[in-house]
Structure 1
Amino acid sequence: MIGLALKLLRDELSNYIFQNKTPDDSITEDDIILHNIALMESDSQADLNNKIVITLVNTEEESTLKNSSNIFRTPKNVKYVEPPVFLNLYILISTTLGQDLQDAYEFALGRLSLVIQFFQAKKSFTVKNSPFTTISGNNNISQENKEELKLNVELYTLTFEQINHLWGSLGGKQVPFAMYKVRLVSIKENSGQEVPLIEELVNNENVTNAN
C-alpha cells in the first residue's frame, strides 16, 4: 500500500511538472522518480542528477485511529481481525542539480516551486480524482486496494536543526527540497478467525434445578 500511495503521487506530480515547466527546461515525466536520495553521493549518482526525487524518510502510526473495532459481522458469522494500521508517511521531495547545466540551481529552484504549487492546489488524492495515474488501469491491483487509496498531503516544516540532522543522516549534500506529510495510508491483513453467530442462549442452571 505504501508503494501504491507514493506511485499515485508521483504519477500526478509528473504530469503537472511536465505540463507547467518552463520552455527551456528539458525535464521529462520520467525524471520524476521514486528513489532513495541518500544514494546521491554513491557510485550511481548520475542516475539522480537533474531529477525530482521522492524519498520516504519516515513512517508514523496515526494514534487517534488505533481504537477501531476488530469485529466484523456478516449474516452468518462474526469475524475477529486485528484493526488496520493507519500510517502517516513523511516524504522528502528533492530537486537535484544537473551537472552539465549552467543554471542548474535555478532550474532546481523552479522545479521545487512547481512541486509546492502542485500540492498547494491539490491536497487530497484518490484513484478516482487522479486521472494521470497508471494505477487505475492496472488489473494486477485489486479494486479494494484502489478504493482504499485516500491520501491527504500537507507541507511539513522542519527546523534548521532537523534539516541538518536529516541531511546528515542521508549522508549527502543538501539540495533544494520540501518535506510533506501524507495522511493516511491504511495497512491491514485480511486473515482472521471466523466464528458462528450465537442464535440461542440455554440456561443450564434452570435445567439442573428442574431435575
Structure 2
Amino acid sequence: MLPMIDQALQLVRDRLNDHLRVRFAVAEDLVSLSPLTDAEGKPAQEARNRLALFLINIARDAVPRARRGQGAAVVTQHQPLHMDVYFMIASGHDADLYPEGLKLVSAALMFFQSQPVFTPQTTPDMPQGLTQLTVEVSNMQLEEIGQIWSNLGSRYVPSVMFKMRSVMIDASVVTGVVPTITAPSQRAQPEEV
C-alpha cells in the first residue's frame, strides 16, 4: 500500500501536534487538518482557536527521485507520479486570542526549521511506502497572498505556506514483464557429407 496525500498531511499534522503539546504543556491538539471556513464561508468549528492545516495546491514534482529496479526480469509499468503538495498553516484564533495564534504560527515555523525531513528513522509511524518527505517554506509575493485568500473566500489571518516534496502516487499497475535472461539459441549445424 502506498501513501496518499491525505496520509502525508495527517502525518505532518500529528507530528506538529506532538511537538506543540510538549512545547506548551497542553493535552489537546493545537492543529487541525481542516479549512478555516466551511462550504458556506462560516468559520470551521474544527479550526476555531487552533492552527488550521489545509491543502492549497498539488503540482507535479519537476525533478523526481529515480527509481531503480533489480532482478532477473524487467517489470514495465507506468511511472509513479511524484507530487509537490502545498499546504498552509493558518491561525484560526478569535480576535482576542490573536497573540496566541501568532505564537503558534511561530512555533510551527520553528518545528519545520528544526525537522525539515521526515524519514522512517526519524518518524517511526510513517505510512508504509513513504520513504521521505521534505517540508520547506514556500515564499509568496503579496499579490499571490491576496489571490489565495480571495480564492479561499476568507480574510487574511497569520499564516505561512509550505511545500512538501515528494509525495509519490503509484497505482503499481504492471503493464508487462520482460525476462532479462533468455535461453541460448540453438542453430542447426550443417550436416557433413
TM over 0.5: yes
Deviation at 1:129, TM superposition (A): 0.7
> Counterparts of 1:12-27 in structure 2 under 5 Å?
12-21=15-24
Indicate if the aligned counterparts of 2:34 and 2:46 stay in contact, CA closer than 8 A.
no
CA distance in 1, matches of 2:134, 2:20: 20
Identity over aligned pairs, percent: 25
Q: What is the DSSP-based 3-state SS (H/G/I as helix, E as strand, rest coil) of the residue aligned with 2:9?
A: helix
In 2 relative to 1, CA 8–47 (structure 1 residues): closer, same or farther, beyond 3 Å? closer
1:111 aligns with 2:104: yes
Deviates more, 1:41-50 or 1:54-63: 41-50
Q: Give the total of aligned pairs.
A: 186
Contact 1:5 1:149 in 2 (8 A): no
Q: 2:16 is matched by which residue type in structure 1? A: L
Alpha-carbon distance, 1:44 to partner: 5.8
CA distance in structure 1 between the aligned counterparts of 2:115 and 2:45, rounded to whole angstroms: 31
Instruction: Please state how far the C-alpha of 1:18 moved relative to its aligned partner.
Output: 1.4
Residue correspondence of structure 1 range 56-67 to structure 2 within 5 A = 56-65=55-64
- Aligned residue for 2:179? 196
- SS across alignment from 1:105: helix
Which letter does structure 2 place at the counterpart of 1:189? A
Unmatched 5+ stretches in structure 2? none
Equivalent of 1:185 in 167, 172, 177: 167
RMSD over equivalenced CA pairs, Å? 2.8
Provide the C-alpha distance between the structure 1 equivalents of 2:70 and 2:76, rounded to a whole number of angstroms: 9
1:37 has 2:43 as partner: no
For the structure 1 residues 72 and 20, does the alpha-carbon distance in structure 2 shift closer, same or farther, using more than 3 Å as the test? closer
User: In the TM superposition, what are the counterparts of 1:138-149 in structure 2 within 5 Å?
Assistant: 143=128, 145=129, 148-149=130-131
Tell me, in whole angstroms, the C-alpha distance in 1 between the residues paired with 2:114 and 2:166.
Answer: 19
Structure 1 length-normalised TM:
0.76
**Superposed displacement of residue 28, structure 1:** 4.9
1:91-130 equivalence runs, <5 A: 91-98=87-94, 102=96, 104-130=97-123
- Name the structure with the higher helix share: 1
1:60 Cα deviation from its structure 2 partner: 1.3
State the alpha-carbon separation in 1 of the partners of residues 90 and 43 from structure 2: 16
User: 2 CA distance for matches of 1:89 and 1:155?
Assistant: 12
TM-score between the two structures when normalised by the length of structure 2:
0.82
